[in-house]
Each structure stands twice: as C-alpha cells, then as structure tokens.
C-alpha cells in the first residue's frame, strides 16, 4: 500500500544519493572505510524503504522471500570471507549485480517499449550479461579454479568481432520487432562475449579487469534507472560506473599500462612471453630463519615488502609484530606497498591496518623506491610479480611495463616464499639468482614466527 507521496520519496532518494557519495569518498581511506560502509548501507536502506512505502507493491511476498533468501546467503558469505579473498568477493558481487540488471531489463521488455526505451533495454541486457560471466571468469582466475594465464586460441579476435557485430544486429532487430526471442539471444551473446573478453587477460591484469567490469555493471544499473524512470538507480549506477572507470584508469596507470593494452594486449603478442620459458635448474641461496635474524640484527634500515602470499598465509599479524620488535630496538622499519600488492588498490593497506600497523609505516611505491639505495635489507614476504625485474627487461613478458618496487637496489634482499614457483603472472623471477638475494622457503606465517623467535632470542 502506498504510504508516502512522491515528494517524500524523492527526498528519500536524495538523502540516499548523498549518503552513497559520502560512502565512496570515505572508502578512499582505511581510517574512514568502516564508517563509509555504514553510510552506504544506511543509504541503501533509506532508498529501499522510500520505494516500498511510496509505491503500490505487487508480489510483495515474493520480493520479501527473495530478500530473505539473498540475505541468508550473502551475510554468512561476507562474514566468513578472508581479506585475502576480498577481490573474489567483489568480482562475485559485481557479476550478480550485472546479471540482475540484465534480467530486470528482459522482464521490462515484455511490458512493451518504444525505440528509445528499447535501445536502453538492449544496452542493459548486453552489458549486464557480459559483466555477469566476465566477473565470474575473473573470480575463477583469482580463486585458482581456472588458469590465471592469458588463454588465447587462433581466431579468438575474429570470433569476438563477429559476436560483437551479431550483438549489434540482434539489438537492432530487438528494438524494431519487440520480439522477446531477440532479447534472449542478445543476453546469450553478452554472456559468451563476457567469457571470451576475460579469458585472454591474465596475471596481474585481472584485478584491473574486475574494476572495469564493475564500471560496466554501473552502466547496466544506470540503464535500469533510465528504463524504470527511477532517479536513484540512475544516480547509483552512474556513481558506480564513474568510480569504476576512475579506479580502472588509476590502476592501469599504476601498472604502467593502458586500459586498451590490458584488454587487447594478448591479441597483439606475436612472440612468447616469459611465462612460456621453462624454469632453469639454477642454484639459489637458501637461508634459515636464524640466518635472516642475524641479517636483521645488523640492519638499521629495513623495508618489508608484503605480497599476496603473506595475505594467503594470514601472516600479516606476525609481520606486524616483527616490525614492531625491530623498531623497538632502534631499527627504521617501513612497509613498501605496491598499488596492487593485494591484487586490488588498498587491499594490503587494509590487511596491515587490521594487524595494527601504523598508517605512517605504510609507504607507497613512488616514495619507497627512492629509499631502497639507502636500505640495508629488504624482506620480501610472499611477493613476486611486484618486484620482478622482467617488468623492465623482458618486452615479451605479461608484466612488461608495470612499475615495480626496486628492491634490487638495496644492500641485501631476503625472500620468504613457499616455493620457487612463478607468481600470479606465471613468470620466473630472475632476482632469485642475484648474488645478494637469499630465500627462506616455507609457509610465510610459520617462517615469520620462527624468525620472530630467533630475533627475540638474539637480544
């Protein structure tokens, strides 16, 4: 039953939109992220309440059932997910959002639409479908369900071109005829293109694609707002699309790449990358945690470089405790943070903040790169691609052109790694064979625990 008049509903939408903007602003800082999430959630509740109380709702029982079912799945999943799995969660949520927008558009099309509305619906169906499958392919790559390497086969570029032309032709036929079968076909083409769009993208570029697909989902939601004449959906979708686009460009810039180079780079690679080279049987200098403790004792300036391996091993608390202990005995210790060290911007910052590492100890790449020449020892924990010199020296490498942390400029470098296997980009790290590099093999958390005990025992 309609309770609120239109002016009150629109006021509610305005308040919700303001809260969404404040939430996005707050999410730019780990200090304000928790409050920003609450603001965003409050805005969503206000928006839903304003709509429900301002319209005559049909099928209310089905809507309530869907809300309860969704909450029953989403709340436990969100509570149980580790920070290390946050990029996968973002990808999954993004895909569901795009899929929902596409389905709403198909349903709206059954009610009839003029040429303008039909065009918006066609756009929403296609982009939403692409975002759905594309996001779940990125989820699979990050989760290790499918290979993280670029998957390219002969004729892929031609196939994508043909499918794109088919999507345009189907969309035109859909608008002209009003036939639901064309809408279903367009959705199907979008789903297929989503898969083929993401498969050729591998390694460190996958997080950037998540952000790009997030922008696509925002556009799909904005399209839903246009076709449903819902101002709030239009605003929210535009905000998501704009923020996703800005983040995509920022991440690509931080990686030293262009967005087009990331998306279409696999099609242009004529020669094999470093990922195709076999791992040579060359000796590396391995050390024990006790050996590393001795090196740390004689180091005044230390930079800890955390990577995804640290996150997976849940070793951030041990790393924070080690840094605190070294600082207490007079060493200058900072954490060198690569923009995508945790696979997404800010991911590693939040993880270390969770371990109570002071914000001033988190030094971004542009700053810390100027400090490595005066650094006694760099402790690289679970990182590979973000310190791999192949980004500068191997034009055929998937990470070529990506800015890296110049750890090789320090006096000594120690890697804490589970194994000598390639990183997420699938390429070998030549730095392992540098004479001033040592490697302590083993689980990052276990090794750090032993290292911390050895350092304390040396006092």
Number of Cβ atoms within 10 Å of the Cβ of 371: 17
Phi-psi domain of 382 (left: phi exceeds 0; alpha: psi -120 through 50; beta: other): left
Q: Is the Cβ–Cβ distance between 391 and 408 less than 8 Å?
A: no
Give the angle 398-401-405 at the CA atoms, nearest 5°: 100
Please tell me whether residue 434 adopts helix, strand or coil conformation: coil
Euclidean distance between CA atoms 124 and 160, whole angstroms: 19
Euclidean distance between CA atoms 36 and 50, whole angstroms: 21
Q: Show the DSSP H helices in 110-230 as ranges.
A: 115-143, 156-177, 180-198, 206-227
DSSP H or E stretch at residue 371: none
Euclidean distance between CA atoms 428 and 147, whole angstroms: 16
Euclidean distance between CA atoms 77 and 71, whole angstroms: 10
Which tokens belong to 222? 């904005």
The catalytic residue positions are 385
The radius of gyration of the chain from alpha carbons, rounded to an integer in Å, stands at 25
Which tokens belong to 225? 């707002």
Beta sheet of 412-417, edge-to-edge order: 362-364, 332-337, 301-306, 377-381, 412-417, 437-441
- Torsion, Cα 314 320 321 325, to 10 degrees, reads 150
Backbone angles phi, psi at 332, to 5 degrees: -95, 110
* Dihedral angle sign, alpha carbons of residues 331, 334, 335, 336: negative
The distance in angstroms from the start CA to the end CA of the chain is: 73
Please tell me whether residue 346 adopts helix, strand or coil conformation: coil
Number of Cβ atoms within 10 Å of the Cβ of 4: 17
Backbone angles phi, psi at 202, to 5 degrees: -135, 175
Q: Write out the DSSP string of 314-342.
A: T-HHHHHHHHHHHHHTT-EEEEEE-TTTT
Phi-psi domain of 203 (left: phi exceeds 0; alpha: psi -120 through 50; beta: other): left
């Amino acid at each position: 039953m309609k309770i609120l008049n239109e002016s009150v509903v629109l006021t509610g939408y305005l308040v919700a939109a303001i809260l969404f903007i404040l939430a996005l602003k707050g999410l730019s800082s780990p200090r304000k992220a928790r409050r920003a999430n609450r603001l965003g959630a409050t805005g969503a509740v206000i928006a839903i309440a304003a709509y429900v109380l301002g319209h005559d709702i049909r099928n209310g029982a089905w809507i309530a059932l869907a809300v309860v079912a969704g909450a029953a799945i989403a709340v436990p999943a969100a509570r149980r997910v580790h920070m290390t799995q946050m990029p996968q969660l973002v990808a999954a949520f993004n895909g569901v959002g795009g899929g929902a927008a596409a389905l709403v558009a198909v349903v709206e099309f059954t009610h009839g639409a003029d040429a303008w509305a039909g065009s918006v619906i066609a756009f929403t169906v296609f982009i939403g479908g692409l975002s759905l499958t594309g996001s779940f392919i990125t989820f699979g790559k990050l989760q290790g369900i499918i290979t993280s390497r670029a998957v390219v086969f002969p004729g892929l570029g031609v196939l994508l071109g043909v499918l794109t032309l088919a999507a345009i032709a189907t969309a035109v036929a859909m608008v002209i005829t009003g036939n639901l079968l064309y809408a279903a076909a367009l959705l199907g083409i979008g789903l297929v293109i989503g898969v083929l769009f993401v498969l050729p993208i591998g390694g460190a570029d996958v997080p950037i694609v998540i952000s790009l697909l997030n922008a696509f989902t925002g556009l799909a939601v904005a399209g839903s707002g246009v076709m449903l004449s819902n101002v709030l959906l239009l605003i929210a979708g535009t905000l998501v699309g704009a923020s996703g686009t800005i983040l995509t460009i920022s991440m690509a810039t931080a990686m030293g790449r262009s967005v087009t180079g990331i998306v279409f780079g696999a099609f242009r690679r004529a020669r094999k990358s470093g990922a195709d080279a076999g791992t040579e049987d060359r000796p590396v200098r391995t050390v024990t945690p006790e050996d590393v403790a001795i090196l740390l004792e004689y180091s005044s300036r230390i930079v800890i470089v955390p990577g995804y391996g640290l996150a997976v091993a849940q070793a951030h608390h041990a790393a924070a405790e080690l840094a605190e202990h070294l600082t207490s005995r007079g060493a200058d210790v900072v954490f060198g943070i690569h923009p995508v060290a945790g696979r997404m911007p800010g991911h590693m910052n939040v993880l270390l903040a969770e371990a109570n590492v002071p914000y001033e100890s988190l030094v971004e790449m542009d700053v810390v790169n100027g400090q490595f020449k005066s650094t006694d020892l760099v402790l690289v924990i679970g990182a590979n691609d973000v310190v791999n010199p192949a980004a500068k020296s191997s034009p055929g490498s998937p990470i070529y052109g990506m800015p890296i942390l110049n750890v090789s400029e320090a006096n000594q470098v120690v890697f804490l790694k589970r194994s000598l296997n390639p990183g997420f980009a699938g390429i070998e790290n030549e730095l392992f064979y540098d004479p001033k590099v040592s490697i302590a093999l083993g689980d990052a958390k276990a090794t750090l625990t032993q290292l911390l005990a050895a350092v304390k025992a040396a006092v």
